[in-house]
């Protein structure tokens, strides 16, 4: 955000319901509600000519926003390590991840969220495959995660794992940039971005060789320049 703002763009981020400084309601942890939350923010701030950027599960937020609210105020879309178009394995999506994996994630979070996240971070950032991430980044990530509502955390695992965005994809009618790490084991490229780029009419894909799911941290400079180039195109 600082990189783009320093070059004349207005950048806006928000804390998803249940996370950060947002309220922590018991309900609403589904993509229709997430998309409507974005819609309310856009209307409140009277935004137009927007480039929506969604990382990881937020790729679903911005995709569902377009499906529900259209692109009259959206100029471009960027999907970074996104979970769309579908995540869980099914008969018609054999590339997906077994549902039992997500069941195990939720069980681990409920049993000992702090330990689960501590164990998960090296996979998220690719430390286990040689990426270098400071201990301060890991501490910051833990702080953000632990401030979230437990209910929201569990609800989001269900949402991003079980939601099928394939019916939404043909509603994306703006230039789209998909960026993904080739070594992403959290949201594997073959099961997500590779398929998404085939389903979006105007989509450019950039595959970061050897990058993990957390490439916005491990490949910050490259991502900054790619997003800037996309905005300027």
Residue 213 is among the residues annotated as catalytic for this protein: yes
- How far apart CA 82 and CA 160 sit, in angstroms, is 10
Pure H helices in 53-203 = 58-69, 99-124, 135-147, 150-162, 166-169, 193-199
Q: 61, 82, 213, 219: which is the annotated catalytic residue?
A: 213
Q: 168, 184, 219, 226: which is the annotated catalytic residue?
A: 184
Determine which one of 56, 149, 161, 183 is catalytic: 56
Query: In the annotation, is 134 catalytic?
Result: no
Cα separation, 97 vs 104, in Å, equals 12
Check if 183 is active-site: no
Instruction: Quote the Cα angle for 118-121-125, to 5°.
Output: 165
Contact 137, 122 (CB under 8 A): no
Quick count: other Cβ atoms within 10 Å of Cβ 36?
Answer: 16
Active site residues: 56, 184, 213
């Amino acid at each position: 955000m600082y990189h783009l703002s320093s070059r004349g763009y207005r950048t806006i981020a928000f804390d998803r319901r249940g996370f950060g400084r947002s309220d922590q309601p018991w309900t609403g942890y589904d993509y229709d509600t997430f998309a409507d939350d974005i819609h309310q923010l856009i209307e409140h701030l009277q935004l137009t000519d927007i480039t929506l950027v969604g990382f990881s599960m937020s790729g679903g937020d911005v995709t569902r926003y377009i499906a529900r609210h259209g692109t009259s105020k959206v100029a471009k879309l960027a999907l970074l390590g996104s979970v769309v178009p579908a995540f869980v394995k099914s008969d018609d999506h054999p590339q997906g991840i077994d549902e039992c994996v997500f069941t195990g994630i939720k069980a681990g979070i409920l049993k000992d969220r702090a330990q689960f996240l501590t164990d998960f971070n090296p996979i998220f950032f690719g430390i286990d495959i040689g990426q270098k991430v400071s201990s301060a980044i890991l501490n910051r990530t833990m702080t953000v995660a632990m401030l979230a509502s437990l209910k929201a955390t569990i609800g989001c695992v269900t949402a991003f794992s079980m939601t099928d965005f394939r019916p939404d994809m043909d509603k994306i009618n703006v230039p789209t940039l998909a960026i993904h790490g080739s070594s992403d084991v959290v949201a594997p490229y073959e099961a997500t971005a590779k398929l998404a780029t085939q389903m979006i009419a105007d989509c450019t894909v950039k595959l970061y060789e050897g990058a993990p799911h957390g490439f916005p941290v491990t490949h910050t400079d490259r991502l900054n320049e790619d997003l800037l180039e996309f905005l300027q195109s």
